[in-house]
Amino acid sequence: MFYRDERLALFIDGSNLYAAAKSLGFDIDYKLLRQEFMRRGKMLRAFYYTALLESDEYSPIRPLVDWLHYNGFTMVTKPAKEYTDSMGRRKVKGNMDIELAVDAMELAPHVDHVVLFSGDGDFRPLIEALQRKGVRVSVVSTIRSQPPMIADELRRQADNFIELDELRDVVGRPSREPRVEQTEEVAEET
């Protein structure tokens, strides 16, 4: 439930939203996503969090980051960490949970409603803290994927759960494979 006079802020966990949309077979059109939530209330900020792999000459996520930055999103990035796992596979890790939580708590006195685009159960204490400050929290993720991309405790804590698949017609476009997103082990976090 949204109210037209509510002050909104969007907090997008980039790797988590990318993984959820990919599991449902579509890509997010961020221009449409921003328009949709501007229609639902008075949007103060739209934050997008992602880690960038600095060692590569070309990062596949760089064009998206640049586009979002020039089109009204507040970008929060940091260098991703590269490592080799015990099986000798190259892995990339770039957790942005703390940055997102700090920004949400700092903005809490200025908003009525926070929309969190993540299914990561680590955000449950953040939602609880925002609610204690009188902020309503909606979570956008999916339970329609196998396995579900949202932690049950996160969905239960939120004031409102928005099924990402139900936003497909409003903010989606057909998936353009292959795009490599630098992701942390999203499935393990939910």
Tens digits of residue pLDDT in 98-145: 999 999 999 999 999 999 999 999 999 999 999 999 999 999 999 999
Tens digits of residue pLDDT in 7-50: 999 999 999 999 999 999 999 999 999 999 999 999 999 999 99
Q: Return the domain boundaries, the chain.
A: 7-83+93-171
pLDDT of residue 177: 57
pLDDT of residue 176: 65
Axis-axis angle for helices 97-107, 124-132 (nearest 10) = 10
CATH, domain range 7-83+93-171: 3.40.50.1010
Tens digits of residue pLDDT in 137-163: 999 999 999 899 999 999 999 999 999
Asked which of 9-13, 70-74, 91-95 is least confident by mean pLDDT, the reply is 91-95
pTM of the model: 0.86
CA angle 14, 17, 23 (to 5 degrees): 135
Residue 179 banded pLDDT, cuts 50, 70, 90: very low
Per the listing, tokens 């996503």 go with 33
Query: How is residue 187 written in tokens?
Result: 């499935």
Beta-carbon contacts of residue 67 (< 8 Å; ≥ 6 apart): 30
